[in-house]
Amino acid sequence: MTARAAELREAGADVITLSAGEPDFETPSAVCEAGVQAIRRGRTKYTPVAGIKELRKAIRDSLSSDHGLDYSIDQITVGCGAKQVVFNALFASLDPSDEVVIPTPCWVSYPDMVKLAGGTPLLVACGELQGFKLRPDALEAAITSRTKWLMLNSPSNPTGAVYSRDELLGLAAVLRRYPHVHVLSDDIYEKLTYGCEFATMAAVAPDLYERTLTVNGVSKADAMTGWRVGYGAGPVALIKAMNIIQGQTSSHTSSISQHAAVAALSGGRQHVQEFASAFLKRRDLVLQKLKQAEGLSCRVPDGAFYVFPSCAGVVGKRTPGGRVIETDADFAMYLLDTFSVAVVPGSGFMASPYIRISYASSTEDLTRACDRIIAACAALS
């Protein structure tokens, strides 16, 4: 959708893109300056595969101060974004036919990463009535003798759902009965929660610490998507195996980016709260606007920077051009081609009929885009 939007924009269309999971904020100036200084000081050579010690120490200190998690730097690895860290973990650990339990809706790359690593993704539908979150009974029903991982993403892309401490404890009670199952906790949106407390499995259930890989990064909370810095913290044996995979692929992430990430994690991160406050205002704006869009209904998300409205109310309706909206993908394409708004169909996240709207854009763009969505829904018959 983002690529199609770019094509239309190049052709002269006034397209508003709400499809990308990328903050519109600039990277904080102090972080940029740390990158500049790294260049000037000649920090442009190869680094250790796992990342420079300064960054792994900063990550260790952050995990300790934020969550009381105690890791040595040998239990921490740095990758080219959280995406690579997740991929390395799956590639290092999955044997053919190993299963990975993935609650859906989920981030689009999870199932394909599992397949690329030779495993089998086991998708567990977690509907809106469940808050788009996995329940203990559903987890228990999904686990088999071949289950290797449970993947949890909280706050969630695409739904913004956030697992509470009690909800994680409920899942932990199930996992204790299945010691062969490990937890991959993707916490990349950790700092972006609204009116609720963030919790992560390794801290909530210390007895599962040795079975949990905690994944995070600076892309979302620090507006550093292009710098490509993510990290994982977990058991030494797993981290060593992941480093072997990385050593034969990307070697390491950019040395300059790593030094910038040290500044992001060690500089007080005042900007994070400022970003989160702005996102909250934008979320509320979008939710209020969407109430006026006939056929759409939206659950209030507790985190990240997405809303995930149901478009069931427009399925079956006809566009002004006479085309019937049969799927969420049809509706998303209608919004793009007719009203110049780019969103992502829920089918990409293994959930239909929904659309994902990113509110990581300016208030002006969000207002204009939502007005167009309202008009698009009104134009259907």
Q: Residue 198 burial (CB < 10 Å; 0-12/13-18/19+)?
A: buried
Mean pLDDT, all residues of the chain: 97
In the chain the domains, ranked by start, together with CATH numbers, are 2-21+271-378 (3.90.1150.10), 29-268 (3.40.640.10)
Share of residues in the chain with pLDDT > 70 (%): 100
Phi, psi of 110 (to 5 degrees): -55, -55
Q: Which two tokens stand for residue 234?
A: 């977990």
Mean pLDDT of the 154-171 span:
98
pLDDT tens for 296-335 read 999 999 999 999 999 999 999 999 999 999 999 999 999 9
pLDDT tens for 234-264 read 999 999 999 999 999 999 999 999 999 999 9
- Cβ–Cβ < 8 Å for 217, 231: yes
The verdict on pTM exceeding 0.85 is: yes
pLDDT given at position 243: 98
Asked if pLDDT for residue 3 goes beyond 90, the answer is no
Q: Which two tokens stand for residue 218?
A: 């600076």
Other CB atoms within 10 Å distance of the CB of residue 12: 7
Please spell the DSSP secondary structure of 23-41, one letter per residue. --SPPPHHHHHHHHHHHHT
Rounded to the nearest angstrom, the gap between the alpha carbon of residue 218 and the centroid of all alpha carbons in its chain is 12
pLDDT given at position 6: 84
Rounded to the nearest angstrom, the gap between the alpha carbon of residue 49 and the centroid of all alpha carbons in its chain is 24
Mean pLDDT of the 361-367 span:
97
Asked if pLDDT for residue 267 goes beyond 90, the answer is no
DSSP run (H or E) holding 128: none
Asked if pLDDT for residue 184 goes beyond 80, the answer is yes
DSSP run (H or E) holding 256: helix 255-266
For residues 288, 293, 297, 303, the Cα torsion angle rounded to the nearest 10 degrees is: -40
Strand partners for 233: 76, 214
Asked if pLDDT for residue 60 goes beyond 90, the answer is yes
Q: Residue 2's pLDDT band (boundaries 50, 70, 90)?
A: confident
